[in-house]
Chains A and B, each alone.
Chain A
Amino acid sequence: MGWFTKSKKTAAKPDSPKKEEIWVQCPSCKAHIYKEEWEKNLKVCDRCHFHDRLTWLERVEVLMDEGTFVELNSKISWNDPLKFSDSKGPYAEKAVENCEKTGMSESVATGTGKIKGIKVAIAIMDFRFMGGSLASGTGEKILLAAMHALKHKLPYIIVSASGGARMHEGIVSLMQMPKTCAALAQLRDANLPYISIMTDPTTGGVSASFAMVGDIHIAEPRALIGFAGRRVIEETIKQKLPDDFQTAEYLLEHGFVDMIVHRKDMKETLYTILKYTGCH
C-alpha cells in the first residue's frame, strides 16, 4: 500500500484526533490546510504552490509505477574514515541517530523501477538524513546505480535534495564529486540518458557535481539551487541579494535548468522526455 494512501487512512480514524493530525501549516505562506488535502496534493500548498520536501519513499510513490521499485545496495551505509568528532560528539553517534530517525542507511536510496512502463535506474536523495549530505556511502550508491544502468542499458535519474558534501567524512566526501561524475561520464559514452531532478535544496558539492551534468535538468518550483550559500555570497560582495536568487526560476532564467515542473506533473514529464531519448 502506498504512503499517501496510508496517511489518508490514518487521518480518517474515528477517535477525536489532535489538531496537528487534522491541519498542516504551509511552511511558506503559513496557510492552514487539511492534512488530507495536503497529502493528496503531494505536500504541495495549493495556495502558494510551495513544494515541501519529500522522503525518498514518498518520492518513489510520486514517480514510479506502483510496486515496481526494487531497491539496490540497501546495505551500503555511512562510514567514518576520519573518526570524526565535533563539539557535539562523535560523527558515528550522529550517523546512527540519523539511521534510526529515517530508517535509511545513508542519504540516498537507489534502485530500479518503472515510469509508465519504462524501466529506469534511479537515485533518490533524502534531506532528512544529515541534510541529504554527500558522503562516501552516498557516492558509492549513486555510482553503483549508474553502473547498473550501464550494464542493463537503462536511463538514469537522480533526484537531488542536499546541502552539499558532508564535512564529517572530510576529503572522502569531496572525492564523491569526481567519483559520481566519472560514473556519469560512462553513461554519456554509452549514449544512455541521464536526467537530473533538482529539488529543494540542491546546493554545494551536489550542485557542483552530478546534479549539474544531466542531459536534461528538471527543477521543482522554487527549489533552492546554487553553489555557495547566500550569507557567504552577501558577505563576500557586501551586497544584498535579490529574494529570488538561487531559486529554480532564477536558474531557468540564467540557462541552467531546462524546465520547472510541478510535482503532480513530474512523472508524466519524465515519461515524455524518456520517450524522446528513445526509451520505451
Chain B
Amino acid sequence: MSLDFEKDVADIEAQIEEFKAKNPEPTGALVKELNRLELERADKLKETYANLTPWQTVQIARHPDRPLIRDFIKGLFSEFIELHGDRLFGDDHGIIGGFAMMDDIRVMVIGHQKGRELDEKIKCNFGQACPEGYRKALRLMKLAEKFNLPVITFIDTPGAFPGRDAEERGQAEAIARNLLEMSSLKTPVIALVTGEGGSGGAIGIGVGDIVLMLSNAVYSVISPEGCASILWRDGAKAAEAANALKITAKSLLQLKIIDEIIPEPLGGAHRDYAGTMKAIRKSLIRHLGSLKKIAPKKLANRRFEKFAAMGRFK
C-alpha cells in the first residue's frame, strides 16, 4: 500500500513493474534503463522521506505494513518465552511480553500488540491495552527486577482502551501504578517507540532509563485528530494539530524527551524489516552494555532525576 504523498514513488514503481513484465530478462540498454528507473525511485523516496510533514509521519507510523511487536520479537531475539496474565483478572492481548534472548543477553520484552489480520486486531483491541495489560506488564517488570533482567518495551498504541470495562477495572489506576513502579524499578529499562506513542497508553510502559524512537514514529499527549476536534473544533484539522503538537522523533529529541533516534531504512521501516532490525539491534546492544555497568539502586535514582527534570525550565 502506498500513501497519498508517495504518489511519485508509486508511479515509478508502477513503471518498473511494467518494464519488468515487458522485459523479463533485460540485456544491454534495457539493463541501463532499469537501473535508471531504480535510481530514480531511490531519489524520489529519499526526497519524499527527507521532507515529511508531521502529519505524513503519523501516517507512516500507522502504516498497515509497519513492523509490529511480533515482527520485532522475531527479528531481534533468538528465543521468546511468552508469559500470560496479570494474576488478577485475565490476559490482555493488547500488551504481550515474556523472556527473550538477544545474542547471549537475557531480557524481558514487553510491548503493545496491534495485530496484523482483522481477527487478530479485534482480539487485541487494535493495540489499545486494558488495565490487565498494564498490570501484566508490571508483573513482568517485577519478575525482571527479581531475576536481574533488563526490560525492553516496544511502544505502539493509539492509546489505552477507552471502554466501560476498562474504566471499571481501573484503567487510570493501572497506568498510574506502572508510572510509579517503573520510576523506581531496580533493573535497566529501555523503551522504544516503534510506531504510535499514544498518550497515557504509551507512557504506561514507557518510563525508561533510555527512551528511543524509530525515525518515523510519533509520540504525543493526544492524537492529532483528538487535539484538532477539541482545540480547532474540527477533526479535519489534524495536520495542523500534528504540526503544533511537536510529535516527531526530531522534535522530541530537541525537547530532550527522548535520548536517541534510530534511523529507519530509506522509505521507512515498512519497506525494509531486515534493515530496521539491524539498526534497532545495534542501538539496543550498545545501551544494554552501558546500562549493565550501573548499580540497580543508582539506576533507579538516575531514572528519577531524568523524569524529574522534564519540563523544568528555569
Contact = CB atoms under 8 A, between A and B. Distances in A.
Question: A and B, one complex?
Answer: yes
Interface string A191-205: 000000000000011
Interface in B237-261: 237, 241, 244-247, 252, 255, 257
A233 B167 contact: yes
A208 B171 contact: yes
B189 to A, nearest CB: 11
Interface stretch (B72-80, B113-121, B158-166, B268-276): B158-166
B1 interface: no
A188 B230 CA distance: 37
Interface stretch (B45-53, B220-228, B280-288): B220-228
Nearest to B173: A212
B200 A167 contact: no
Interface string A170-183: 11111111110111
B311 A185 contact: no
21 contacts: A76-B314, A82-B246, A86-B232, A87-B232, A137-B311, A175-B203, A175-B310, A178-B179, A178-B183, A179-B310, A181-B179, A185-B183, A210-B176, A211-B176, A213-B173, A213-B180, A227-B175, A232-B162, A236-B161, A245-B164, A256-B172
A74 to B, nearest CB: 13
Contact of B313 (A88, A136, A207, A246): A136
Contact of A208 (B169, B176, B245, B247): B176
Contacts of B15: none
Given A182-B179, A189-B184, A136 B246 contact: no
Given A178-B179, A182-B179, A185-B183, A171 B200 contact: no
Nearest to A214: B176
A209 interface: yes
Nearest to A234: B164
B311 A86 contact: no
A222 B178 CA distance: 27
Given A178-B183, A189-B184, A171 B257 contact: yes
Contact of B222 (A167, A189, A255): A167
Given A179-B308, A233-B163, A245-B164, A170 B181 contact: no
A182 B161 CA distance: 24
A87 to B, nearest CB: 5
Interface in A233-257: 233, 236-237, 239, 241, 245-246, 254-256
B99 interface: no
Given A170-B220, A212-B177, A227-B172, A176 B183 contact: no
Contacts of A117: none
Given A171-B219, A171-B221, A171-B255, A227 B311 contact: no
B163 A236 contact: yes
Given A136-B313, A181-B176, A239-B164, A170 B247 contact: yes
Given A86-B232, A175-B307, A185-B181, A226 B172 contact: yes
A136 B170 CA distance: 25
Given A208-B171, A233-B163, A182 B244 contact: no
B312 interface: yes
A181 B183 contact: yes
Contacts of B227: 167
Contacts of A205: 199-200, 221
Contact of B172 (A82, A175, A212): A212
Contact of B244 (A76, A82, A176, A245): A82
Contact of A172 (B183, B232, B310): B310
Contacts of B219: 171
Contacts of A26: none
A242 B251 CA distance: 42
**Across the A-B interface, the 6 shortest Cβ-Cβ residue pairs:** A136-B311, A228-B162, A182-B183, A181-B179, A207-B172, A212-B176
B233 A174 contact: no
Contacts of B257: 171-172, 175
A124 B124 CA distance: 38
B61 interface: no
Contact of B164 (A137, A170, A237, A256): A237
A25 interface: no
Contacts of A167: 221-222, 227, 230-231, 245
Interface string B99-129: 0000000000000000000000000000000
Interface string B169-208: 1111101110111111000000000000001100110110
B304 interface: yes
A256 B166 CA distance: 13
Nearest to A172: B311
B93 interface: no
A263 to B, nearest CB: 23
Given A79-B311, A177-B200, A254-B168, A165 B221 contact: yes
B245 A170 contact: yes
